[in-house]
Amino acid sequence: MNKLRVAYFAFSEQYGAKHAGFTHSFNIVSSLSKILKIKAFFYSENKIETNLDITSVVFPSFKNLFIASPLKYIKSYFLVKKKIKDVDLLHERFHVNPIDLLFIKKKPYVLEVNDPAMIFHDSFLYRFLINLKIKRCNCIITQTKTLKEILSKYTNKPIYVVANGVDTLIFRPNIKSDIRKKYGINNYGVLVVYVGAFMKWHGGLDVVKLARTFPEVKFL
């Protein structure tokens, strides 16, 4: 049986950056490469050295619009166009630039939306570009039921919840840490740690409810 061939667009994610956007995208590509053929495209001014099929591209954004050479934009366009000729499906990690739409044409197009951008950006241009992509995509994937409920108010397209996973080689029950000693909470049997922003769709208020329900548990 032939493996599904997928192109993963992460045009706005700086390859190797120390933030959640890159980590999330890179691990999706790394994991999916084990079960299908995936070609990924990340933002980078340099050639990317990796065992995965990842190509560096440079497309305009608000940050580099007047910095990067237009020649790099043109080169990246033709490079992507050439490399995705044989793919079966396009998967985009949402970003504002509509450049992705130039490559889609008749191919199935999955839009990965990790935050409800359409409700906290007042810019007409921003909302216009968001709607362009939503109208063109075949379906949307997002991480939580809360996000699905928010997004479903703005589109009738199918929305699938694909929860974030965890790297069990890094995060495991027997991991050694001095966090209890550091914060003086050695007397608590169970410690729950939350790291992230406190937006509605991140479930921050759920942590508060859990803390009230389980007073014997320490929440950090």
How many whole angstroms separate alpha carbon 185 and alpha carbon 154?
A: 44
pLDDT of residue 181: 87
For the segment 52-72, the average pLDDT, to the nearest whole number, is 80
Confidence of residue 90 (pLDDT cuts 50, 70, 90): very high
Beta strands in the chain (DSSP E): 5-14, 37-43, 54-57, 89-93, 109-112, 139-142, 159-161, 191-192, 218-219
- Among 67, 78, 69, 162, residue whose Cα is nearest residue 113: 162
Backbone torsions φ then ψ of 69, nearest 5 degrees: -75, 135
Position 5 pLDDT exceeds 70: yes
How many whole angstroms separate alpha carbon 77 and alpha carbon 3?
A: 26
- Arithmetic mean of pLDDT over the chain: 87
Question: If you write DSSP's letter for every residue of 185-219 in order, what string do you get?
Answer: -TT-S-EE---S---GGGTHHHHHHHHHH-TTSEE
Position 128 pLDDT exceeds 70: yes
pTM of the model: 0.85
Please enumerate in sequence order all residues whose Cβ is within 8 A of that of 73, keeping only pairs 6 or more positions apart, or say none: 58, 59, 60
CA pseudo-torsion sign 21, 25, 26, 28? positive
pLDDT of residue 214: 92
For 86, the 3-state DSSP assignment is: coil
For the segment 42-47, the average pLDDT, to the nearest whole number, is 90
| Residues 60 and 48: beta-carbon distance below 8 Å | no
How many whole angstroms separate alpha carbon 220 and alpha carbon 79?
A: 46
- Among 24, 20, 26, residue whose Cα is nearest residue 44: 26
pLDDT of residue 65: 60
Residue 119 host element (H or E): helix 117-120
pLDDT of residue 87: 96
HEC readout, 16-36: CCCCHHHHHHHHHHHHHCCCC
For the segment 156-171, the average pLDDT, to the nearest whole number, is 90
